[in-house]
Amino acid sequence: MSRARFLAGDGRAVVVAIDHPLYSWPCRGLEDREEILRQVSAAGADAVIASYGTIRDLRPAFGKAAPILKLDLTTVTLGSNYPLTEYVPAWTVEDALRLEVEAVLTYVQLGAPFELEALRVAGQVAAACDRHGLTYVCEIMPIECAMYPDPAAPEAIAAASRAGAELGAHVIKTTMPIPATSLADSVACGVPVILAGGALASDRTQLLQQVATAVDQGAAGVAFGRNVWGSRDPAGMVASLCDIVHAGRKAAAQ
Amino acid sequence: MSRARFLAGDGRAVVVAIDHPLYSWPCRGLEDREEILRQVSAAGADAVIASYGTIRDLRPAFGKAAPILKLDLTTVTLGSNYPLTEYVPAWTVEDALRLEVEAVLTYVQLGAPFELEALRVAGQVAAACDRHGLTYVCEIMPIECAMYPDPAAPEAIAAASRAGAELGAHVIKTTMPIPATSLADSVACGVPVILAGGALASDRTQLLQQVATAVDQGAAGVAFGRNVWGSRDPAGMVASLCDIVHAGRKAAAQ
Amino acid sequence: MSRARFLAGDGRAVVVAIDHPLYSWPCRGLEDREEILRQVSAAGADAVIASYGTIRDLRPAFGKAAPILKLDLTTVTLGSNYPLTEYVPAWTVEDALRLEVEAVLTYVQLGAPFELEALRVAGQVAAACDRHGLTYVCEIMPIECAMYPDPAAPEAIAAASRAGAELGAHVIKTTMPIPATSLADSVACGVPVILAGGALASDRTQLLQQVATAVDQGAAGVAFGRNVWGSRDPAGMVASLCDIVHAGRKAAAQ
Amino acid sequence: MSRARFLAGDGRAVVVAIDHPLYSWPCRGLEDREEILRQVSAAGADAVIASYGTIRDLRPAFGKAAPILKLDLTTVTLGSNYPLTEYVPAWTVEDALRLEVEAVLTYVQLGAPFELEALRVAGQVAAACDRHGLTYVCEIMPIECAMYPDPAAPEAIAAASRAGAELGAHVIKTTMPIPATSLADSVACGVPVILAGGALASDRTQLLQQVATAVDQGAAGVAFGRNVWGSRDPAGMVASLCDIVHAGRKAAAQ
Amino acid sequence: MSRARFLAGDGRAVVVAIDHPLYSWPCRGLEDREEILRQVSAAGADAVIASYGTIRDLRPAFGKAAPILKLDLTTVTLGSNYPLTEYVPAWTVEDALRLEVEAVLTYVQLGAPFELEALRVAGQVAAACDRHGLTYVCEIMPIECAMYPDPAAPEAIAAASRAGAELGAHVIKTTMPIPATSLADSVACGVPVILAGGALASDRTQLLQQVATAVDQGAAGVAFGRNVWGSRDPAGMVASLCDIVHAGRKAAAQ
């Protein structure tokens, strides 16, 4: 599994997600994409998940952070004509190649009405990435449903991770299970697992502790959005995450 | 963002839209397309949004105005079998290239039942334009819906503008927010924003004042239809708009 | 607009339509396609609208009449599982090229449930014809609906004609407006307009008088089916239509 | 119309259909495809309608009989989740070419919910066959519906035959009209018409008499399934059909 | 029928299926795919059915066992938004070629709402395999429905097998009929038939006896999942199956 090129030498990554404005606005803290990009890349982010327009127009601001192109989109007006989120692919691996991007992402919600089509797209994108030598990040998460009444339960997250591995993902982005100590069941899928951050946490210390636990359990890193750009100091948050995720790297260097 | 070639040297444009007869008739004042085209181009319009047939058959009448090909269409009989407007793409970037047109446009109504498909088309057209070096104008506007009870509210217009930028639009055409002084929130998306005119205004002086305010706030211009061809003197209206939009150009020349 | 090659030197045409048996049978008078083709072409018809099978198998019988390939079809059993007529494309411009046919036709009913898709097909066929140098005849007619309670009203026919021109039709086939003297509003669309004949008229003299009025108003001709092959003397009817439609030609020759 | 290469020198054919097991099982008498193929080809069958798998795997057993590839399929479990038969294309003319088959067939039920799509497929397959020099057999039959309360009525069968000719079929397979003496109305469509056999007849003599009448009326032959492989002596039945269908050939040889 | 290359020299195969985690989790015993693969291939399995990700990432662990790529997928959350299993294709024969896999599989449930589309996909995949020289395994099984109240009835399994043969399958995977002695009716379809194992059997001796009976009746082998990886000793189970399935081979060697 040598494909996930945005992972650092230690096989781990701190990823920042700034794709939110395509489906959710306002995003307090993300008004100025270019500024956020400069801050998080300078602070050591290994990769940034962003939309087509952001990557095309602001590439220099990514610095050393690898852009991860999100290939799908959903409605902007959730709750209006679309009562539920629904993702459809809009861009392709060919678009990623033209933008000189080496990694792409699509989103699968297990338990959602569009699950089957999203799984199909995931399998097709995995194969398309293999054809062209790109990295496919499969963001795959249970939502509350008949099969997963608790979408953060260890077995739900493990099922999502294993499904991602069977689909051909090179990297899996999923939810932090509760408790974080159960992550080993997910990591057993054999593909690097990075954890989403979700809503802005009220207690940063506790959040960072959870990250540390997850990394101890084998997580390959995090992919945080609101907990980075929505925080008081995005650069500081990225630096803290790098300290935890790349702790081994630091230890090795000492 | 050097793609929007129909923008004048000052980065702004006065655009006239004459695509209405494909979905709304009669259009008093637009019976003779060729005559209107000659008048508005002679009066200084930078670009004209038109349908496939108009651009193919009347190209000489565009003069120095750049044609912008509208790629999608809707029903002619709104309220009959189709209770709501719904847009689908009929032409492609390849058609634009064959017509030697350098800019295309599609329409997204945020809050409409066809929003998701329109967003997908927008992303695909943005990428297709990038493949071929064309300019993509994304006309993206909120309509009244659960998320945007007031479709002219500043945050609604800002959300639309930002979504357009994330989609990869080279230019955004959207609604004038109320008040016009709030336009800066939209312009912050980083892509040139031009403003639609909407229904024929009863008070031209007030309309032009709004345009002036919008330009002060950073608007890159206007894209007016009924307020040009439906007015008593289309050429005069275009000239007035040019005076306001290109005021800086005039000032620089003084 | 030099594309409509089946128009005679005076820019007008008498077209006969014999495509009916694909969706309506019996057709009294049209049992023998070959015989009808020989009669109407000998009598001076400029073009004949026919189905794929007819053009492929009976080409010699077209004589000097140009074949116009109808690209779409509908159900044969109207009123059974399909309560309403619905047209879908079955053949392509590539098929027309292989048959060495220079003109194609599709059908749009404004106000029908399939209107939007038919408009999209019309736009795509117009562009495909331009790619290959063929003539696109857009048959576009209002039906009774909320927007057009009277589908023969002058403004309804004018809207249809203008929509056809915006779509990129090279020739428009539409309904005769009532009164026929109002046709100028439709002809103003700038594309040659030819008029459908509809049901078999009980009074041929009156029908021919309407044609004469329409030609005076600028019609480019007629496209008659049942009023030709369903009449007592198809050849005589075609000859009469030619006399009226090409009256200017006759006058010029005198 | 020189395309129907499986017709014998007299322009007629005895066709056997053995495609039934893909949608109906058990088929008493058809358990051993290879044996039936050997029997009917030895007995003089001009062509055999069969599924993709049968033609690919048992080609030598066709002997001198031309294989006709059925391109579409329906459900196996009629009456379960699918209350009605519905046909969709699964194979293409390209598959026929690879199998070195010179004729293909699709099925249209006039009056069925899938009629419109089946007609569209028929038109597309006719054109694809013309592109590649293959023969298209259009199996087109009315079912009981509002327009055809009696699906075996002469005018219903004539409508089906004429529709097939307009679609571009090279050969039409349809139902025997009642009375068989009315077949001339169908044969007037100008394309060779062969007749399906339907359910196993209780009286073979009567069935053969109907065939003789149909041939007298201009039928180009028969396409029988259950009345061949479901009979006591398939080879004998084929021989009897050949005697009737190719009677002129026999007479000419005498 | 020389295509089924994963069959051993005796025309038979012991196949292990480990594709379950893409649609069912947890799978006790299958947590470590690599370990199971090593065990079953060492124990003599002729082939292993697996997902895209597993074949791509763990190829060396297949050893001498041939990978069979399952091309379709279903939902992970059966019973949530999807009340019934539904399979759609996600990968293609081209993906198999790139992975250097020589056999692919798709799944058809006769009696399910997606039956028609699954049959169509089966026919298309069969043809695609023929184009590229791959082996197509059609997993085709009746489920309880109006036509098959008992989905394990001999006539139901025979119908499924025959449908698979008509579709163009090179190998058929289906359910063990009850009684197993009736399998000859299915085997008569002429294509190698291998039998699925279903739920974990409580009595291994009885299960193996059924396999022996089926092989006596002409089965070409088995394709077992849970009864291999869910058993106490997967390697031992595979060895036992090989003894039975390849008994003739052993006898010949003696």
Which residues of D fall within a CB distance of 8 Å from E148?
77, 80
Asked whether the beta carbons of residue B147 and residue A80 sit closer than 8 angstroms, the reply is yes
Judged on CB neighbours under 10 Å (0-12, 13-18, 19+), C113 is: middle
Indicate the residue of A57, A91, A98 with minimum beta-carbon distance to B123: A91
Write out the two tokens for B247: 């005021």
C interface mutation test: which of D116, D161, D185 has the most C CBs within 10 A?
A: D116
Asked whether the beta carbons of residue C146 and residue B79 sit closer than 8 angstroms, the reply is yes
- First-last CA distance in chain A: 28
Asked whether the beta carbons of residue B53 and residue C142 sit closer than 8 angstroms, the reply is no
The pLDDT value recorded for residue B83 is 87
Asked whether the beta carbons of residue C111 and residue B80 sit closer than 8 angstroms, the reply is yes
Mean pLDDT along residues E146-167: 97
Euclidean distance between CA atoms A180 and A197, whole angstroms: 13
Range 125-184 of B in CB contact (< 8 A) with A? 126-127, 130-131, 142, 145-148, 155, 158-160, 162-169
pLDDT digits (tens, 9 = 90+) for B149-190: 999 999 999 999 999 999 999 999 999 999 999 999 999 999
Asked whether the beta carbons of residue D116 and residue C86 sit closer than 8 angstroms, the reply is yes
Tell whether D85 lies on the interface with C, counting CB pairs under 8 A: no
Tell whether D20 lies on the interface with E, counting CB pairs under 8 A: no
Nearby residues of E165 by Cβ (< 8 Å), 6 or more positions away: D21, D53, D54, D57, E172, E189, E190, E191
- Whole-number percent of chain C with pLDDT over 70: 97
**pLDDT tops 90 at residue C250:** no
The pLDDT value recorded for residue A252 is 65
Which residue from D minimizes the CA distance to C27? D159
Q: How far are the Cα atoms of A111, C27, C223, D158, D214 from residue D183, in angstroms, in the given order?
A: 58, 17, 33, 8, 6
Read out DSSP for C94-148?
HHHHHTT--EEEEEEEETSTTHHHHHHHHHHHHHHHHHHT-EEEEEEEE-SSSS-
Which residue from D minimizes the CA distance to E151? D77
- Residue C245, SS3 per DSSP: helix
Which residues of E fall within a CB distance of 8 Å from A110?
76-77
Counting Cα atoms < 13 Å in the Cβ hemisphere of C169 gives 30
The answer to whether E228 and E238 are in contact (CB under 8 A) is yes
Nearest residue to A137 via CA among A111, A100, A110, A174: A174
The pLDDT value recorded for residue D249 is 72
Indicate the residue of C23, C81, C95 with minimum beta-carbon distance to D113: C81
Mean pLDDT along residues C57-84: 95
pTM (2 d.p.)? 0.96
Per-residue DSSP letter, E26: -
Instruction: State the chains in contact with B (3 or more Cβ–Cβ pairs under 8 Å).
Output: A, C
In this prediction, residue A1 has a pLDDT band, given cuts at 50, 70 and 90, of very low
Asked whether the beta carbons of residue D53 and residue E168 sit closer than 8 angstroms, the reply is yes
In this prediction, residue E219 has a pLDDT band, given cuts at 50, 70 and 90, of very high
Write out the two tokens for D221: 């032959």
Indicate the residue of E126, E145, E166 with minimum beta-carbon distance to D22: E166
Euclidean distance between CA atoms A45 and A65, whole angstroms: 6
Buried b / exposed e over C217-229, threshold 16 CB at 10 Å, is bebbbbbbbbbbb
Tell whether E242 lies on the interface with D, counting CB pairs under 8 A: no
**pLDDT tops 80 at residue A253:** no
Whether there are 3 or more C-beta pairs closer than 8 Å between C and D is yes
The answer to whether C4 and C34 are in contact (CB under 8 A) is no
Mean pLDDT along residues A31-49: 98
Which residues of E fall within a CB distance of 8 Å from A165?
53-54, 57
The answer to whether A18 and A223 are in contact (CB under 8 A) is no
Nearby residues of B39 by Cβ (< 8 Å), 6 or more positions away: B234, B235, B238
In this prediction, residue C83 has a pLDDT band, given cuts at 50, 70 and 90, of confident
The answer to whether C139 and C105 are in contact (CB under 8 A) is yes
Euclidean distance between CA atoms D254 and C30, whole angstroms: 40
Euclidean distance between CA atoms C34 and C16, whole angstroms: 13
Residue-averaged pLDDT of chain E: 95
Chain D nearest CA to C190, separation (Å): 33
- Whole-number percent of chain E with pLDDT over 70: 97
Read out DSSP for A54-95?
HHHH-GGGGTTSEEEEE-EE--SSBTTTBSS---EE-S-HHH
Nearest residue to B224 via CA among B93, B216, B170, B235: B235
The pLDDT value recorded for residue D1 is 45
B interface mutation test: which of A28, A80, A87, A107 has the most B CBs within 10 A?
A: A80
The pLDDT value recorded for residue B252 is 65
Which residue from A minimizes the CA distance to E27? A159
The torsion of the CA quartet C56, C58, C59, C63, rounded to 10 degrees, works out to -160
The pLDDT value recorded for residue A254 is 61
Q: How far are the Cα atoms of A151, B237, D73, D251 from residue A218, in angstroms, in the given order?
A: 20, 67, 51, 88
- Residue C243, SS3 per DSSP: helix
Asked whether the beta carbons of residue B120 and residue A88 sit closer than 8 angstroms, the reply is yes
Nearest residue to B29 via CA among B216, B220, B200, B244: B200
**pLDDT tops 50 at residue E1:** no
In this prediction, residue C205 has a pLDDT band, given cuts at 50, 70 and 90, of very high
The answer to whether A158 and A193 are in contact (CB under 8 A) is no
The answer to whether B69 and B91 are in contact (CB under 8 A) is yes
- In three state form, how does the secondary structure of chain D look? CCCCCCCCCCCCEEEEECCHHHCCCCCCCCCCHHHHHHHHHHCCCCEEEECHHHHHHCHHHHCCCEEEEECEECCCCECCCECCCCCEECCCHHHHHHCCCCEEEEEEEECCCCHHHHHHHHHHHHHHHHHHCCEEEEEEEECCCCCCCCCCCHHHHHHHHHHHHHHCCCEEEECCCCCHHHHHHHHCCCCCEEEECCCCCCCHHHHHHHHHHHHHCCCCEEEECHHHHCCCCHHHHHHHHHHHHCHHHHHHHC
φ, ψ (nearest 5 deg) of residue D93? -60, -30
The pLDDT value recorded for residue E251 is 64
Tell whether C81 lies on the interface with D, counting CB pairs under 8 A: yes
Asked whether the beta carbons of residue C190 and residue B57 sit closer than 8 angstroms, the reply is yes
Mean pLDDT along residues B19-36: 95
Q: How far are the Cα atoms of A131, A181, A214 from residue A210, in angstroms, in the given order?
A: 37, 9, 6
φ, ψ (nearest 5 deg) of residue D15? -110, 140
Nearby residues of A87 by Cβ (< 8 Å), 6 or more positions away: A72, A73, A74, A106, A107, A109, A114, A118
Write out the two tokens for E112: 């399910």
Euclidean distance between CA atoms C254 and C25, whole angstroms: 43
Active-site residue, from D72, D87, D107, D173:
D173
Which residues of E fall within a CB distance of 8 Å from D74?
116
Active-site residue, from A19, A52, A72, A107:
A19
Buried b / exposed e over C67-93, threshold 16 CB at 10 Å, is bbbbbbbbbbbbebbbeebbbbbbbbb
Range 181-220 of D in CB contact (< 8 A) with C? 188, 190-191
Instruction: State the chains in contact with C (3 or more Cβ–Cβ pairs under 8 Å).
Output: B, D
The pLDDT value recorded for residue C253 is 64
Indicate the residue of A111, A147, A166 with minimum beta-carbon distance to E22: A166
Asked whether the beta carbons of residue D131 and residue C57 sit closer than 8 angstroms, the reply is no
Quick check: is D23 catalytic?
no
- The residue type found at A108 is V
Euclidean distance between CA atoms E29 and D81, whole angstroms: 35
Beta pairing partners, C106: C138
Indicate the residue of B52, B78, B80 with minimum beta-carbon distance to C126: B52
Instruction: Give the number of residues written for chain E.
Output: 254
pLDDT digits (tens, 9 = 90+) for C136-166: 999 999 999 999 999 999 999 999 999 999 9
Supply the Cα-derived Rg of chain A in whole angstroms. Answer: 17
Mean pLDDT along residues C195-214: 93
The pLDDT value recorded for residue D20 is 97
Kindly report the number of other CB atoms within 10 A of residue D235's CB atom. 18
pLDDT digits (tens, 9 = 90+) for B112-151: 999 999 999 999 999 999 999 999 999 999 999 999 999 9
Asked whether the beta carbons of residue D168 and residue C88 sit closer than 8 angstroms, the reply is no
Write out the two tokens for C206: 């009156």
Supply the Cα-derived Rg of chain B in whole angstroms. Answer: 17
Per-residue DSSP letter, C18: -
Chain C nearest CA to D144, separation (Å): 9
The answer to whether D106 and D139 are in contact (CB under 8 A) is yes
In this prediction, residue E5 has a pLDDT band, given cuts at 50, 70 and 90, of confident
Sign of CA dihedral A66, A67, A71, A72: positive
Which residues of B fall within a CB distance of 8 Å from C146?
77, 79-80
Which residues of E fall within a CB distance of 8 Å from A188?
31-32
* Least confident stretch, A221-225, B236-240, D22-26, E219-223: D22-26
**Greater pLDDT, D199 or A248:** D199
Euclidean distance between CA atoms E58 and A238, whole angstroms: 34
Mean pLDDT along residues A148-170: 97
Which residue from E minimizes the CA distance to D25? E159
Quick check: is D19 catalytic?
yes
Chain B nearest CA to C170, separation (Å): 9
Euclidean distance between CA atoms A22 and B126, whole angstroms: 14
Tell whether B85 lies on the interface with A, counting CB pairs under 8 A: no
In this prediction, residue E250 has a pLDDT band, given cuts at 50, 70 and 90, of low
The answer to whether D112 and D123 are in contact (CB under 8 A) is no
Which residues of E fall within a CB distance of 8 Å from A169?
53
Q: How many C×D Cβ pairs under 8 Å?
A: 106
* Least confident stretch, A67-81, B17-31, B89-103, D238-252: D238-252
Asked whether the beta carbons of residue E53 and residue A112 sit closer than 8 angstroms, the reply is no
Q: Specify the pairing of strand D103-110 against strand D193-196.
A: unpaired
The pLDDT value recorded for residue E249 is 72
In this prediction, residue E3 has a pLDDT band, given cuts at 50, 70 and 90, of low
Which residues of D fall within a CB distance of 8 Å from C56?
130, 168
Supply the Cα-derived Rg of chain E in whole angstroms. Answer: 17
Tell whether C252 lies on the interface with B, counting CB pairs under 8 A: no
E interface mutation test: which of D54, D76, D87 has the most E CBs within 10 A?
A: D76
Report the complex ipTM. Answer: 0.95
Chain B nearest CA to A186, separation (Å): 33
